[in-house]
Amino acid sequence: MHLIKPNWPAPANVVAYSTTRHGGVSLGPFASLNLGLHVSDCTEHVLSNRALLADGLGLTRQPLWLEQVHSVDIVKYDASDETADCPPAIADGSWTDLAERPCIVMTADCLPVLLTDYHGSFVAAVHAGWRGLCDGILQRAIQTAPTKPERILAWLGPAIGPDAFQVGSEVRDQFTEQDTSFKQAFVADNQGKWLADLYLLARLILAKQGVEQVFGGEHCTYSESNDFFSYRRDGITGRMASLIYLTK
């Protein structure tokens, strides 16, 4: 199993990874470490992949898997959650200040954002597609965090890159009508469309919230087909996961 470990100055009690498409048992367009139950892959394969991930990391509790709907809702993974028996929460992010409770989001082009602070007092995982970024999910995550924004560290996991994410004018307009500074994250292409930079949009939003320590953002799920699933590229495909948790 090939995992990506964030290169960021998180404290020693914070553990974080993003998966790639390698190291699982799924077949065909889901090969091989598909972690999404909602993409028409064999359920047994997906559950095996999730078990492989948990075993590989030595997790003592299951991650808080979410039903992601491109919302701005953030839930807390607390002591009462029993993820094996309860249906997944409908949300696009989670956070916790308790140890051994992995927060996790799935992506296949959208941007996963992991958050903590220099003291390792909390962790959060956020699913930030363009809709979530536009609607304010990062702002919600920062407001939810139990610390000041200037103490927060953010890591931007693998997402579709700025040379591959083509959008229409209606998407650009939704951002630029909020703030003209977002114009710098869109470049006109030769097809009358725009290339959007999710990484830059996230950095601009985080900076406006007072979060200056932002890391990652060097991958492109669309172009790096050997390592990543991409919905924009393939349509029928699997999902990677980005997770973060506190150790005792």
Query: 34: domain CATH number?
Result: 3.60.140.10
pTM over 0.95: yes
In a domain, 176, yes or no: no
pLDDT of residue 87: 84
Sign, CA torsion 220/221/224/230 = negative
Whether the CB-CB separation of 76 and 124 falls below 8 Å is answered with: no
DSSP, res 99: B
What percentage of the chain carries pLDDT values higher than 70? 98
pLDDT of residue 81: 67
Whether 68 shows a pLDDT value over 80: the answer reads yes
| Structure token digits, residue 130 | 């363009």
Total count of domains within the chain: 1
| Structure token digits, residue 163 | 């040379």
Please provide the average confidence, as pLDDT, over all residues in the chain: 97
Question: What is the chain's length?
Answer: 248
In a domain, 99, yes or no: yes
The greatest distance separating any two alpha carbons of the chain, rounded to the nearest whole angstrom, comes to 53
Read off the pLDDT band of 138 (50, 70, 90).
Answer: very high
In a domain, 135, yes or no: yes
Domain that holds residue 79: 3-162+210-246
pLDDT of residue 79: 79
In a domain, 69, yes or no: yes
SS3 21: coil
Measured N-to-C along each axis, helices 137-144 and 198-208 cross at an angle, to the nearest 10 degrees, of 40
d(CA 9, CA 108): 26
In a domain, 66, yes or no: yes
In a domain, 91, yes or no: yes
In a domain, 201, yes or no: no
In a domain, 200, yes or no: no
